[in-house]
Amino acid sequence: MSLTASMWTSVSGLLAHGEKMNVIGNNISNVNTVGFKSQRMDFQDFVYQYMGTASGMGQVGRGTSIGIIMNDFDQGSLETTTSDTDVAIAGSGFFGVMPKTNKTMYYTRAGNFTFDADGFLVDPHGYVLQGWKIDREMQNSTSSALINRDTGGIVGTGLVTDVRLDTFTCPPRHTTSLTLPINLKMDNAISQDKSVNVDDPFFSLLKRWDATNPDTTKPLGDATYAYQTTIEVYDEGGRSHKLTVYFDRVVNEVGGQVVDNNSPNESYWEYIITMDPEDDLRDFSTLDPNAISTTPNVPVNLRGLLGAGTITFDSTGMMKDMSLFVPDAGGFWDSGTTPPSVDLSKFVSAPVNENGYPLIAPNFSGAPGQAAAYGYGNNTASGAPVIYDQPNQYAGGRLIALDFGLRNKTNTWSFPAGMPATGHPGAASMATRTAQDIRTTVTQTVNIPGWDNWINTGPSTPQWEPDTANPPAGVTYNAASGLTDSWLAPVGSLDPAYWTDNGDGSWTPILQGAAPTANTTTVIVPAANKQWTFGLDGKSELLPTAMTCLDGAYFEHPGKRQDGYTYGDLRYVNVNTEGILSASYSNGVTLQLFQLTLYEFPSKQNLRREGGNLFTETRESGIPSSGAAGTGVFGTTQGRSLEQSNADLAREFVNMITTQRGFQANSKSITTVDTMLDTVIQMKR
């Protein structure tokens, strides 16, 4: 009986070593299987039988059995490939794939994915890779403002879903943001002021614009501005257009113009934003977005004007303030003049988007209700008022934000305390809008005593003129010029009935037949406060893309960009280390489409192998956690790479030899016991 038990003990060894050889053979057969995880079989001793011994009871073992089959989840080597859709995980984690027909989730380390005919990214079984979809609108924004979100590295949104390209083309996108990091030359300030307007020094370019110039490509002459930059933008149909921004210096010494609060520590610039006049299809006659059709109604000579503003630089040449004014909902011109002229009272400070940038409304398509950047009331047919503190809701995705590098943190403009309460957006009522929204000077009647300080210099005919030895108040004799008719008026422009403006800051008195007796005159003086401020009292944030005003030359800093584009065909895809699947198109656009979801388990050893490089969750493995590549416990992803099998042939060959020896030894035990049993049988004979 004991010999028979010994034989069965050896049989258990044969069976166990035979199964271990199966594990070794499976590892060797999968040495080139993508993402394969090898196994290891560990034995355990079998049951023990008690028997009597001289010292009492003893135990004798009755063989071996399979204790556990361990899965080796160490990372295999990474091999580079030529396929854009091959992905490997460097570190911990599994890809999730799911059949199209049911919601059973499988997990795999094999990243040999391809797109099928329906645009799904699938494994060799046709199971769809899972990930988070990335919001195109958020990534399309090229604003300098950084949107910080604590999402644990997840840039996708919503629930985990199938990774699928709905189309292999890239639809066009209307430009919604411009970034123009420009340096405006600081030196030779007077020579940089190419256009002068005494009444409105900050809007001389705006008033000089003439789209009926015989050379229609130049509504402004080359000598009328200091610098201009042009950028190509796109409409909703993918058609390209050109926006041009003109800049001109504003100084106090040129042409008698007066700049309020002019400071030697600051420099001021005006600018206008324009489009090609032939592309200007705006119609300001209706606010109704449901109108059947509209006809462009901007006067021909004023077409192309989109907005005007000012920029202030500090003494170091860094951007300090800015403003932007855009046409009111009813248009921006005075029809009472021939040709129609710009009416500054019909410009309003631009609405500000959610990121703090002012908006313009080019309306390339001429769509109804989209001529103005401001929002409208709900009942446009009954003349509901314009909502001046909100962007036009009917022009969603078609307004363009202007990023000069200064972001408004409160989304509201700052206006001086002296401005009328109803004179700017955000006030309770817009009924009493005035030109002070945009003008920097006002006309006032002031007392100028001392008109009796005129003397008669005519020998026969009366020729009354100011007394150079005792000049009247409000004017100063310019003795430095050496001319007896050269006077200066530091308070502003003098009454044209008594004085002639020489255009260079000096004035010539008009000889009078009698001594002037009036004690008042009309002068144009600066407004009480600056009207071009933006982001005061900590409301603004200076960004790395901010414009500068430095000595040297005009130039553009790196970072000039816009976020629109035309149609494009898919060229290739790429997966980065964060698991983000990007697609590059023929129009030069690269879009982030999905972020691959990685999974990890509390107990990987208890995953169920399903074959085909797939694992499934079990009760013992625990519920998987999900996350983005490169965060937490998850490894990074490598595009154009595949993880190879982690089966080590050298180790497997050694295990094969030791397993073979174990099998041979157990078989020898059986033959030996058989010989012993044969001896017992021979004894009976």
Find the mean pLDDT for residues 274-297. 89
> CB–CB of 444/469 below 8 Å?
no
393-443 pLDDT, tens per residue? 888 889 999 999 988 888 777 654 444 333 334 332 223 333 334 545 555
Find the mean pLDDT for residues 54-83. 88
d(CA 342, CA 347): 9
Find the mean pLDDT for residues 591-604. 95
Find the mean pLDDT for residues 231-245. 95
Average pLDDT score over the chain: 82
Q: Sketch the domain layout of the chain as residue ranges.
A: 2-74+649-684, 78-171+567-643, 177-440+530-562, 443-526
More confident site: 244 or 454: 244
Note the maximum CA span of the chain. Answer: 177
Tokens of 35: 């993402």
Helices (H), 43-169: 136-140
Statement: residue 1 has pLDDT above 70: no
Statement: residue 493 has pLDDT above 90: no
Find the mean pLDDT for residues 176-201. 86
More confident site: 133 or 4: 133
Tokens of 681: 């049988």
DSSP 352: B
SS3 labels along 518-544: CCEEEEEEECCCCCCCCCCCCCEEECC
d(CA 105, CA 95): 10
- Most confidently predicted of 164-168, 271-275, 484-488, 518-522: 271-275
- According to the model, what pLDDT value does residue 489 have? 73
Q: Name the phi and psi angles at 334, rounded to 5.
A: -105, 110
Statement: residue 261 has pLDDT above 60: no
Residues 6+ apart with CB under 8 A from 22: none
Per DSSP, what are the bridge partners of residue 642?
Answer: 79
Please, what is the angle between helix 649-684 and helix 2-29, to 10°? Answer: 160
pLDDT band at 385 (very low <50, low <70, confident <90, very high): low
> CB–CB of 268/249 below 8 Å?
yes
What percentage of the chain has pLDDT greater than the value 70? Answer: 83
Identity of the residue numbered 397: G
pLDDT band at 189 (very low <50, low <70, confident <90, very high): confident
Angle at alpha carbon of residue 317, lines to 315 and 322, rounded to 5°: 95
Find the mean pLDDT for residues 77-84. 94
Find the mean pLDDT for residues 296-324. 90
pLDDT band at 145 (very low <50, low <70, confident <90, very high): very low
Distance separating the N- and C-terminal Cα atoms of the chain:
19
DSSP 547: -
- According to the model, what pLDDT value does residue 330 have? 83
CA 7 to chain centre: 77
